[in-house]
Structure 1
């Protein structure tokens, strides 16, 4: 078995060993070899037996303003075992963080929350006021206790009020208009009506009566009609002061519609003198003035307002007692006979 060969040595170590093993030479030879050794040392740098890298000290960093506090915290945490930080401490820290966050949010939204509170308060006040008003309006506090009839001339006010007495005690917003209409239909003289509520307890009924234009002779007697041909009443004998209508075609004809329009356009003082109206077509309406038997040739119902104005002025200048007829069919050229 062969022995392992020795490891190679460094040049410095081998040279040192050789110098130790070589015998001492005379001083002359050493002096002569000294310059060569100096040249060799210049060519090859001398290596130490234990080479080490130079140590350069680092400058200590400048501590931050809160370095002491940070070091204290670090020392504290280093001295604390991780097992000592439990769920309760984490929960408290999280709750403190949420509380601080909510405080910041409230601080930055205080104006918005104040504006929102004002708007909500105003809306709630309006809503409560509306609900209170509606509740009071539909309660017995605003029940009907008085019915006032306005516009009745030929009809008796007490009769109309008695017919509507079923609405007494009903809150004003709940008054039944269909029931009131059904009661007023029984009065033919009522042409139109309107209801008006006067809180807290009054109901006003405004009516417009039909205007009778004359009597039409029928089998049942004499029927009083208005301009629309609605029968108002029927009597066995003609009523005094009411003109007798002689219309070809009856109340459904165009002649009757023209005669009714003419009667409604007459002034009250002239209408009171009319005792008869005749018409066979819509263009030949003729009036008869009682007492003097004076005729008024009216013609058609066109320009009735102008014809009525011209007739009144002409009758003032020429009274019916001295006139046989007034022809106002052409209002710009009145003919008096």
Structure 2
């Protein structure tokens, strides 16, 4: 029987906060580039740069031998899940304001907290479950189910894409927790970077000439199917930044979820919400509508409550250990 790695909450929280900051930079840069480049080209360049950096980290964590695995299909499944998560989110990002897309995606930590119960056997009490339900209510409000389709700036399908992204992301991170028993964070990151490169090359072979984008005006479809073009000089540093961020995100998220319980780490991903609002305002002059503000408040509140309950639980366990000595 395989046991889960030791729960090192402090290390897991530190890595998730660094990873979320890098993700906020990544999302901002991709939204900036979405009007002139295809998604699969951006993914290929950032993953290629990220892979080179991650392979250097591999040398510090044990060398080429740590890339060997007895569960290649599990790693391939994990890689495909994160590719689906990224692609669906970035396609939505081309049409949605940054804060809206990020806020809708933040059903992911709620999925992680709930799914960690049946998939990992982790214990989540009724108060934390109640907080998760409050967070889900916030997501529903942001979906605005009462609004007529003509009142929405984008289609309901686009609004659901970040939720699909969140679900596949949650499943990916729960798999990371299991695979982290035998795999280093850098190895887990390498497998994901390679998957991104293979999928983006497949997109290039099928749609890289842009023939499927002809006559399309939908910004999400254009972002997905636009022809490859050589980056303009002023955009090269944005591509380099994406590559550096890709390496940092892949390593930090893998390290976070292999270091601590998923239900402990997940709430700290909410730090991405205020960061998304800031970048949306500072770079794109966007501010969320009322429904999005309400959803953000509910999700942040539920996340903070889950964190407080986790800390209370840890203190009780710690006092119990002291009494036994």
Q: TM-score, normalised by structure 1?
A: 0.16
Higher normalized strand content (fraction of residues)? 1
Higher normalized helix content (fraction of residues)? 2
Rg comparison, structure with higher value: 1
Higher RCO, 1 vs 2 (CA within 8 Å, ≥6 residues apart): 2
